[in-house]
A and B are shown apart, each in its own frame.
Chain A
């Protein structure tokens, strides 16, 4: 073989390398070919695979056996999620449906709502949770009014305007 054949891959292999121009190195040499490697692309690197498969028998470059079976096994081992079906917006989003208010206001449980909200409020403020239901279920009206009045008075006393009833200030004592 002529010595220049090493510098000219086309002469070296006797093939046209125009089919794989990207495999040529800076000096016009097919670097992957000499190393017995093939870069399929920047991230998929298969060692020992030659790019000129058609001319496999005509070359003298030793190449490692192909590992197609390995790569295929590796690809099979991936568990890819199933592609979701494209749904229209209304089918994809779950809307919470609240029952509409009844036409007849007599069927609307205002008392139940009041008790429920009062429990929430008392819990938030720090009062006994079932304070209001207990007051409502008082036996006599006399005791009921006394309890309501006591509740209002304690709320009025606990009420402190932000300013000027309870000012907090800092003084430089030094």
Chain B
């Protein structure tokens, strides 16, 4: 009699992982060969989210105002934008003019992350072995 076992303990373990740290979802994604830019984007989004969540004063601030008020401004702009070459001052001024532009960049990076996560999860299809005729 054959029985199939599914390892539900590992599922629970992954569900309980935190986002940052030595044993975290980001480390697991890194081990799954997620590109560096996407990893940093997830990390930076979590930073901004924590800044909003832990300080109620920021609730009325726009995203550009929050970024300008932080010390790691350059890093936030770099990974939230997902633009390779840019002039920081010009980019920030364009974000202030049109806030939807920054949202577009964030959603663009988020979609890329979702795409990678989806394809990292799916198993590769087995290729048919080539038969060598004798």
Binding site for B on A (CB under 8 A): 110-111, 114, 117-118, 121, 125, 132, 135-136, 140-142, 144-146, 148-149, 151-153, 155-162, 164-174
Question: B residues within 8 A CB of A111?
Answer: 100, 104
Known A110-B104, A156-B42; judge A125-B114 contact (CB<8 A). Answer: yes
Interface size of B as a range: 35 or more
Question: B residues within 8 A CB of A156?
Answer: 19, 25-26, 28-29, 42, 117
B86 at the interface (CB under 8 A from A): no
Partner of A170 from B2, B17, B122 at Cβ < 8 Å: B2
Q: Are A136 and B113 in contact, CB atoms less than 8 angstroms apart? A: no
Chain A nearest CB, measured from B21 CB (Å): 13
Question: B residues within 8 A CB of A144?
Answer: 63, 103, 106
Question: A residues within 8 A CB of B118?
Answer: 121, 125, 155
B83 at the interface (CB under 8 A from A): no
Q: Are B4 and A170 in contact, CB atoms less than 8 angstroms apart? A: yes
Q: Are B2 and A171 in contact, CB atoms less than 8 angstroms apart? A: yes
- A sample of 26 inter-chain contacts (CB < 8 A) reads A110-B104, A121-B115, A125-B114, A136-B100, A136-B104, A141-B61, A145-B45, A146-B52, A146-B53, A148-B106, A149-B48, A151-B114, A152-B45, A152-B46, A152-B110, A153-B19, A155-B113, A156-B28, A157-B25, A159-B121, A165-B10, A165-B14, A167-B10, A168-B5, A171-B5, A173-B3
B6 at the interface (CB under 8 A from A): yes
For B43-56 the 0/1 string (1 means CB < 8 A from A) is 00110110011000
Name B's interface SS.
Answer: helix
Nearest to B124 among chain A residues (CB) is A162
Q: Are A148 and B45 in contact, CB atoms less than 8 angstroms apart? A: yes
Beyond A125-B114, A141-B61, A164-B10, list 6 extra A-B contacts (CB 8 Å): A111-B104, A136-B107, A148-B110, A149-B48, A152-B45, A156-B117
B36 at the interface (CB under 8 A from A): no
Q: Are B52 and A166 in contact, CB atoms less than 8 angstroms apart? A: no
Q: Are B1 and A152 in contact, CB atoms less than 8 angstroms apart? A: no
